[in-house]
Structures are given as structure tokens and as C-alpha cells.
Amino acid sequence: MSSEEMLKEIAAEVSICSRCDLCKGRTKAVPGEGSPHAKILFIGEGPGFHEDRQGRPFVGPSGQFLEELLKSIGLKRSDVFITNVVKCRPPENRDPLPVEINACDDYLERQIAALKPLVIVTLGRVSMAKFFGGEKISVIHGRPRKKDGYVCIPMFHPAAALRTSIGEFLCSCRFLSPGSKKIALTSTNTMLRHYCKFKIPRKQRGCTEALLQYSLVACEGS
């Protein structure tokens, strides 16, 4: 079964899912969307008001902001895959409960298995906790780590940028020194900068362009 077929199968199951009580209040389930061949996977926390109405992830103000971030580095949302930890909207946009996260976890694991992404970007502390339980997002955000064979980068949720009084939270990708391999987060207008050295396996070097997503930059050595 191809990755596209697997993702369609998961989406069909999510659309009628009744594994937890979130199904009782949903308008539409939100399985996720994007390229079945995406090399980068974004994982948010859960659908909001607009997502619940449309059945698509990140279509409200946070989604518009995410699209601007992607556009700033020459990418479209159709180039990546976007999903959430839970597939139905929690009431009043509260944090998903552990029982709700567990109910959806099989769907997320299967999406990861279908995509086999090179990079997983978690958006917000709830999705971060799936990979880095017990950590604080204020401490580890923007710092690439290997987890279960993937490069995982925990990031603040785009909504956090919209709540700041500093202004636009625009991220850009740029090449660093040619003699090193780095993944860097560069945030303008926020003084938020973290540079982390991270080796890129030789077999993945031909895919570095696919890693230039959401404030990531992969620089190849000579």
C-alpha cells in the first residue's frame, strides 16, 4: 500500500471515529492534509473553531501565519504534511486530555509510518510532549534532536506568535558557514535565536532542500 493510500485510509477512519468523547461535539474530524511524499511533518495540538468547521488543519489565524512562514522560505503547505495530536476539536479549545491523546495516538503513529518524514516539527507543548515528555518547550524549542530515528524539532505554536506584542514573528532560512552542517532557527523581530549543530546523515544529504522548512536551514559541508 502506498503512502497516499495509507493516509486516505487513516483519514476515512478518523472521519467516523468515536474512540473518545470529542466526537460528540465535533462538526468535522480533522485527519490532516498535505503531500503524501512530504519530507517534513508538522504536528499541532488539536483543531480549533475554523478547523472544526472545515475539516482541515491550521486554517484559522494560526494557519494563515504558518502559511506566511512557509511562503517566506519558498514553500507551500502542499509541500508538507500537517496534522494534530488529536483529530477533533476539544471544547473551548482547551488542551486535549490524556485519554483523548491516547485515543488518537494510533492514527498519528500510522501517519508517521506512512510518511516516513525526515523531520518532524511539533507545534506547541502538547505535541512536543509526545516526543519529549517532561521537557519544557521554553527550554528546548528550536533545538533539533534525534528521536525514534527522526529529526524532531519542538517549536512554539504559531498562536503564541500571534499573542505577542512584539509584532510579526517571521522566520527565514539562510545558509550558514559552508564548512559546517547546522540546523538553525532564525526569528526576526523577537531576538529569539538558537543555533544548534546537528549532523545530517550522508544518505540524507541529497534531501537537504526538503529540510528547509519552518525556520530550519541545513548546511552541507564540503
Residue 187 counted as domain residue: no
191 belongs to a structural domain: no
pLDDT grade for 162, boundaries at 50, 70 and 90: low
pLDDT tens-digit readout, 166-216: 333 343 233 222 232 333 333 322 222 332 333 334 433 333 333 343 334
The H or E element that residue 148 is part of is none
Predicted pLDDT at 126: 94
What does the chain come to in residues?
A: 222
CATH number at residue 28: 3.40.470.10
Residue 163: give the domain boundaries: 3-167
Mean pLDDT of 83-104: 97
183 located within any domain? no
Question: Per mean pLDDT, which range of 47-51, 99-103, 136-140, 205-209 is the poorest?
Answer: 205-209
The dihedral sign for the CA sequence 98, 103, 107, 113: positive
Q: What would the pLDDT profile of 24-54 be if each residue is shown by its tens digit?
A: 999 999 999 999 999 889 999 999 999 999 9
Q: What is the pLDDT of residue 106?
A: 98
Residue 108 domain-assigned?
yes
Query: Does some domain include residue 220?
Result: no
Task: Please indicate, yes or no, if residue 26 is contained in any of the structural domains.
Answer: yes
Any alpha helices (H) in the chain, and if so which ranges? 3-15, 49-54, 61-72, 98-115, 125-131, 137-140, 158-162
Residues 127-149, mean pLDDT to the nearest whole number:
86
Domain count, the chain: 1
More confident residue, 107 or 154: 107
Q: Is residue 125 part of a domain?
A: yes
Beta bridge partners of 83: 43
Look at residue 140 and tell me whether its pLDDT is greater than 70. Answer: yes
Yes or no: say if 122 and 153 are a contact pair by the CB < 8 Å rule.
Answer: yes
Quick check: is 221 in a domain? no
